[in-house]
Amino acid sequence: MDEQTACAGQAPLIQDEPENDGVRNIIRRAYQCTELRISPVALLPNIKADVPAGSEAVGVPYSSSRLESLYVPNCVSLHSYMTAIRNPNSYLYTRLSDSPNSRGYMGSVCSAFVSWCFDLPCVYTTHQLGMLPFMQLCDRQGPDALFPGCMLLHTDDHVALVSAVWRDADGHVQQAEICEECHPHTKRRRFPPETLRANYLDKGYLIYRFLGAADVRYVPTPWSPLPGDDPIAPPYCAQLSPRRGDCANWRPGEPVEIDVLDDGGFTHARVLRGETCVCELPIPADRLLVFRQLEPGSYRVCLTDGTRQSACVFFCIVDTSVSVTDLGGGTAKLTFRSKNAVPLWYAWCHADGPHFRAVRRAYSLTPEQAAAGEVVTTFQPGSWLFKVEFRTPYGVFSSDLVPQTISG
């Protein structure tokens, strides 16, 4: 076991070992977010205080980017986000989220962060996390009951992950490391037991065990390398930068905007779908490439001078369709399809009020439901917004929100 001395003159503390490799992976996934280093090249909007260009921020910025589910890294990959950070014209700098509890165009919230750590199939909310069948309320509560990989949940407020625990020789917790998404960014902090009580346990937080922990996987990323990862430079195209970031999903009908950051002596831009050249055009004077009315599919763009070719950037235009039918009794039927994405999960979302557009209930689709393109779901009568989330080669894409009143 690892040992740590809390203060000079005190006996060394003994650190709890994670229960298995899956728990180690949960903690690594948390650290990918808490240790992410962001260097904005323009003023980066943030819910608490905007981050100036030329400074450095650590952690995924907080923002309930619920309109398009632009949660990092659950739906928007770290590669897409970090390549957008390098483009001063990207939507991270030029667009704001108008949803409650948000400001940044992309970001994360506490429940999205914990959903990421546990590699859960949906982006769940605090209201739902504790009632999931794979979450177990622990019999013991209190600081001594904490263990690496457990969840601290307040159903109506917040959720956090315990990533490390240190005990004295009698087994009493003297320190615990908490990872959580909060204003203004993901944080990783150590607390003594009295602070754990004051900040969490005496305020209604409960300790939960994730029953699927042993199966959690970890995939290293060069954008947020951790000790033991292979030191690989992040892949990056210096010439081109899509305004949603490289390898991002775009909505059908939305103009795809790509900045030429450095023409490198090239003269034209070439767009390919598979091995087919869709179009080739001269680099415009304002160095902004705009592609409209492209068919759904995966594309790549490079610069060329007729003989040489630059590195490529990639994007996907995602085709989706979702409709909702009221079946009465608090039951709805969702019908959905996509030409180039796989349906993953769906949600009932608030249609008004302080939680406007936020997920109230999220449900993963079974393979049979995904293949059939429909699901019958029961929750509560009322006015709701519905959405279906789809997986593409470049992350998770949210359908448009569909309003529907469900009768009792």
The span from the first CA to the last CA of the chain, in angstroms, equals: 57
* Residue-level pLDDT at 9: 56
Range 326-352 average pLDDT:
97
Q: Is the pLDDT of residue 6 over 70?
A: no
Residue 308 pLDDT level (bands cut at 50, 70, 90): very high
pLDDT mean across residues, the chain: 96
State residue 11's pLDDT score.
79
Is 4's pLDDT higher than 90?
no
Separation of alpha carbons 211 and 57, rounded Å: 34
pLDDT higher than threshold 70 for residue 367: yes
Paired residues of 58 in beta bridges: 37
Model pTM score = 0.95
Among 47, 207, 217, 60, residue whose Cα is nearest residue 135: 207
pLDDT 10s digits, 77-96: 999 999 999 999 999 999 99
Smallest CA-to-CA distance from 176 within 64, 61, 16, 313 is with 16
Quick one: pLDDT at residue 384? 98
Q: Give phi and psi for 322, each to the nearest 5.
A: -135, 135
**Rounded mean pLDDT of 7-12?**
66
pLDDT, residue 403, reads 98
Residue 120's contacts (CB-CB under 8 Å, 6 or more residues apart) are: none
Q: Over the chain, what HEC string results?
A: CCEEECCCCCCEEEECCCCCHHHHHHHHHHHHHHCCEECCCCCECCCCCCECCCCCEECCEECCCCCCCCECCCCCCHHHHHHHHCCCCCHHHHCECCCCCCCECCEECHHHHHHHHCCCCCCCCHHHHCCCCCEEECCCCCHHHCCCCCEEEECCCEEEEEEEEEECCCCCEEEEEEEEEECCEEEEEEECHHHHHHHCHHHCCEEEEECCHHHCCCCCCCCCCCCCCCCCCCCCCCCEEECCCCCEEECCCCCEEEEECCCCCCCEEEEEECCEEEEEEECCCCCEEEECCCCCEEEEEEEECCCCECCCEEEEECCCEEEEEEEECCEEEEEEECCCCEEEEEEEEECCCCCCCCEEEEEECCHHHHHHCEEEEECCCEEEEEEEEEEECCEEEECCCEEEEECC
Residue 340 confidence (pLDDT):
96
Q: Would you state the pLDDT for residue 2? A: 45
